[in-house]
Amino acid sequence: MEPNGILPLWKEPGMTSHDCVFRLRKILRTKKVGHTGTLDPQVDGVLPICLGRSTKVAEYITDQGKTYEAEVLIGFSTETEDAEGAVVARDTSEKTITRKQLEAVLKSLTGEIQQIPPMYSAVKVDGRKLYEYARKGQTVERPVRTVQIDSIELLGEADAWSGQNIRFRIRIRCGKGTYIRTLAVQIGEALGYPAHMSQLTRTQSGSFTQEQCVTLAEVEEIAQNGDIGSILQPLAYGLSAFPFEEIPADLLFGIKNGQVLEEHPALKAEPLVVFTYQGEPAALYKRHPDKPGKMKPEKMFGFPPTDEV
């Protein structure tokens, strides 16, 4: 039987997100596998994987907030903005940075901020990914993006850091599309020094946490024991950012058939509402973009096959 649900995977360093999907297809013997947001090969952390019909909710998990723990290195910058790239600028002076200075910089980078995506990234310009230009030694104008930084917490107890190269760790809660390596460079710029992100771990993705996660080796062992269902979260878990409403009797026929209907009160404050049938997600509705006071289906998840509505 094909597995259905969301697998909270702990991606280990050295693998791409696609590598993880490829391995899981083999382990679970299913083609319907999709990840919920790319992690660079050197980054480890939480990578929810959607299986079976739960692939329909992958985009909503991707859109939810993330939490990262990163190490920032002040002293030199790289072409990739992380530890993998060649050094492009270096400051060998003896530096001292106080906790007060650093916390002021982190506060200034909290909220809505502007970022320019790194050349070594998957952002597309004129139909090509930026890293494709970068690998050919080409530089193109990159779009400025607005991203949301909910909080940046300075980890550790030190009152000051000194040396030619200074390292410190931070915890970042942020929205979709944030580049933590670019944030590390921005922190360095605000302090007046070249910098890069020397290490990164994603500790939370949407409602999925590090404590829930399993490694590929653990997935393989659990699958061999025939107990894969024990580590899967239901499709509904991937929609937990939205309100849930059981379908009222008078809307049952209309929602089952994906009709445009009168707007549900829950959509006054939320962009989407999950309609459930017998407690299970059946349809995702949104405000109609062209018909005020109406709503239309965003995605249908289906009703039980024996249902007669």
Q: What angle do CA 179, 183, 184 make, to 5 degrees?
A: 120
Q: Of residues 19, 40, 44, 290, which has the active-site annotation? A: 40
- In 3D, which of 210, 234, 182 has the Cα closest to residue 66? 210
- In 3D, which of 265, 303, 307, 308 has the Cα closest to residue 287? 265
Name, in order, each residue with C-beta under 8 angstroms of 113's C-beta and a sequence gap of 6 or more: 146, 147, 149, 186
- Are the C-beta atoms of 303 and 277 separated by less than 8 Å? yes
Name, in order, each residue with C-beta under 8 angstroms of 41's C-beta and a sequence gap of 6 or more: 13, 14, 15, 16
- In 3D, which of 182, 191, 49, 194 has the Cα closest to residue 121? 182
Tokens matching residue 219: 């997935």
Tokens matching residue 75: 């002293």
- Are the C-beta atoms of 33 and 133 separated by less than 8 Å? no
Catalytic residue status for 227: no
CA 169 from chain centre, in angstroms, equals 20
CA 181 from chain centre, in angstroms, equals 15
Catalytic residues: 40
